[in-house]
Amino acid sequence: MKLSHLFTLLLAAMTGVSVFAAEVPLKSEAEKKTVKKAVPKKRAKLTLAQQIKAATTPVQYKRHVKRHADKKAYAAANKDKIKILMLGDSITHQWEYKAAAEVQKKYISPYPVLNLGCGGDRTQNTIWIVEKSGILELIKPQLVTIMIGTNNRYDHTATAAGIKRIIQGVRKHYPQATILLYAIFPRGKDKDDMLRVRNDKVNAEIVKFCNGKDIIWVDIRKNFLTPEGILERSMMPDLLHPRHAKGYSVWGESLRPYFEKVGK
């Protein structure tokens, strides 16, 4: 123990004054401001009308720019070949990952597909692709797949409104195309997981947009789950993205008959 500290303790014992408070130095004004800044601010709760506006307003972020530019160049170079368009988030995007090479080779590569899925996308990002990117004007697909919404953090009504606008935009571009609207895949371990509950509520709304003719509802949620409704990590390691060998095979088998109908 340092002599100065020992002297302080002896002085405290003689005077009866506690020194423990003095041992903790007071923060400077700059430090106090830093502490205040480090406290996260609570997000303002949006009204349903504000959530719907957010979910239906076209948005492009910096992370999209290169991918969209590359996809636009590819679409322009292959505009007469592309017959299938895929729209979605990271789950769709990951068909292109190296880890998915084998399933992609089996289910996607043999067909004239343009994959515009992008990691992290929400409905508003897909709306931007459909309405603002200029990519859809370059191609004339016969089949369009849509699976989006798991990244939205809104009331299910707002997410459904975003998906409806995507469908309307696709139909405006391609009056004769068949649209496959996929139920948002299950996530979370079981049926009580809040994220799965939210997705299920969205699915209950968006199924109403399908007519069984040119807008077809495809629901393969049960194919990812055990009979008890459990989502195992052997199927989706992070309880969100399908495992490339196993999970994407489930999706691929559901796509196969539609892709085969379009042809190579």
The tokens describing 52, both together, are 């719907």
Of the chain, the percentage scoring pLDDT greater than 70 comes to 84
Q: Is residue 103 part of a domain?
A: yes
Supply the pLDDT for residue 38. Answer: 47
Res 39 pLDDT > 60:
no
What total of structural domains would you count in the chain? 2
Do β-strands 84-88 and 143-147 pair in parallel, antiparallel, or remain unpaired?
Answer: parallel
pLDDT digits (tens, 9 = 90+) for 171-210: 999 999 999 999 999 999 999 999 999 999 999 999 999 9
CB 177: neighbour CB atoms within 10 A?
Answer: 18
- Contact, 193 vs 201, CB < 8 A? no
Work out the angle at residue 61's Cα, subtended by the Cα atoms of residues 58 and 64, and round it to the nearest 5 degrees: 105
Same domain, 159 and 53: yes
Output the average pLDDT for the chain.
Answer: 89
**192 catalytic residue (yes or no):** no
Please identify which of the residues 64, 68, 156, 241 carries the catalytic annotation: 241
Please identify which of the residues 4, 80, 192, 238 carries the catalytic annotation: 238
**238 catalytic residue (yes or no):** yes
Same domain, 114 and 243: yes
Mean pLDDT value of segment 124-144: 98
Q: Is residue 242 part of a domain?
A: yes
Please identify which of the residues 90, 190, 193, 254 carries the catalytic annotation: 90
Supply the pLDDT for residue 32. Answer: 47
Q: pLDDT band at residue 264, thresholds of 50, 70 and 90?
A: confident
Instruction: Count the alpha carbons within 13 Å of 132 in the hemisphere toward its beta carbon.
Output: 14
Supply the pLDDT for residue 44. Answer: 72
- Contact, 88 vs 80, CB < 8 A? no
Res 13 pLDDT > 50:
no
Q: Which domain holds residue 119?
A: 48-262
Res 15 pLDDT > 50:
no
Q: pLDDT band at residue 42, thresholds of 50, 70 and 90?
A: low
**234 catalytic residue (yes or no):** no
Task: Please count the residues of the chain.
Answer: 264
First to last CA, the chain: 82
Res 1 pLDDT > 70:
no
Same domain, 26 and 56: no
What is d(CA 7, CA 28) in angstroms, rounded to the nearest whole number?
27
